[in-house]
Amino acid sequence: MPQTLLLPTFDEPARSQRDGASANRLLAAMPDAEFRR
Amino acid sequence: MGQVISEPGSELAYAYFPLTAIVSLLYVMHDGESAEIAVVGNDGMLGITLFMGGNSTTIRAVVQSAGMGYRLPASELVAEVARGGATLRLLLLYTQSLVTQMTPTAACNRHHTLEQQFSRWLLLSFDRLCGNEMVMTQTLISKMLGVRRDDVTAAATALSASGAIAYREGRIRLLDRAVLEQASCECYQVVRHECDRLLPPARQANC
């Protein structure tokens, strides 16, 4: 029987899941970055 | 294997900043055999080539554990780095921490037992995960560690018997971190301490 393989995937968080400063150690430390504005 | 984010020789269109996902950096031989050289989670980013200037690398980046993260267009990261501010300094420190992770890994793979290597790999992964369980087949682990599947089975059985982990049907649950740290070699602590020295404090992921 063929099986559906659920691969580990990389997804962007939905807008409702975004917490601003983010939980990424690097992003959290660069609040002044232009792309954070 | 999980989703491939980049292949050797390719140029990244985005920089990736994992929140809950974990990405493995693998070196793949011509015959298809591979070994993990580093792991990237919410401690870091994928895409140092974007600001190092080399544009591509010889590694394959594969999602080891499914999850979320931000991706930033490469041009925006390059523009930010060109400002020469705090972001550049931070990314250079992260690059040093990534090299720090790769250095003992190379020696560990040569001189330490598979059980020690497996313990190190588990600890580095759990440090970057939400919760204390990961889904991982023994075949995938063998690809990460560059060893035979039977050897992974033996190492997993030994760690299960010690009470460090429970491993059943591809699910690895961390039961006792202290026991797992004892089963590991000094390489894990070296990497952890150096990353903590170089990088800003970790924040709890929004799991």
ipTM: 0.86
Interior angle at CA B64, CA B59 and CA B67, nearest 5: 120
What's the predicted TM-score (pTM) here? 0.88
> Which residue numbers of B have CB closer than 8 Å to A's CBs?
1-3, 5, 16-21, 23, 42-45, 63-72, 76-77, 79-80, 83, 85-87, 90-91, 94, 135, 199-206
| B76/A11 touch (CB, cutoff 8 Å), yes or no | no
Query: Running DSSP on this structure, what letter comes out for residue A31?
Result: T
| B199/A26 touch (CB, cutoff 8 Å), yes or no | yes
Question: Which segments of chain B are extended strands (E)?
Answer: 4-6, 14-18, 22-28, 34-40, 60-65, 67-73, 133-135, 165-168, 171-174
State the average pLDDT over residues B113-122.
Answer: 95
Across the interface, which of B66, B72, B203 has its CB nearest the CB of A25? B203
Q: Nearest to residue B103, comparing CAs of B181, B27, B45, B190?
A: B190
Bridge-based pairing of strands B34-40 and B165-168 is unpaired
Give the pLDDT confidence of A14-29 residue by residue, as tens digits: 666 655 446 889 988 8
Q: Nearest to residue B145, comparing CAs of B11, B48, B24, B3?
A: B24
Determine how many CB atoms are found less than 10 A away from the CB of residue B60: 19
In terms of pLDDT, which residue wins out, B175 or B19? B175
Count A/B contacts: CB-CB distance under 8 Å. 107
**CA of A37 to nearest chain B CA: how many angstroms apart?**
12
pLDDT value of residue A5: 47
Alpha-carbon distance of B80 to B76, in angstroms, equals 6
- Domains in chain B: boundaries: 4-198
Give the pLDDT confidence of B124-142 residue by residue, as tens digits: 999 988 789 988 888 888 9
| A23/B63 touch (CB, cutoff 8 Å), yes or no | no
Give the pLDDT confidence of B140-172 residue by residue, as tens digits: 889 888 899 999 999 999 999 999 999 988 889
Alpha-carbon distance of A20 to A23, in angstroms, equals 9
Q: Which residues pair with B34 in a beta bridge?
A: B28
Please, what CATH class does the domain formed by B4-198 belong to? mainly beta
**The token pair that represents B164 in the structure block:** 């460090």
Q: Nearest to residue B26, comparing CAs of B62, B68, B76, B50?
A: B62
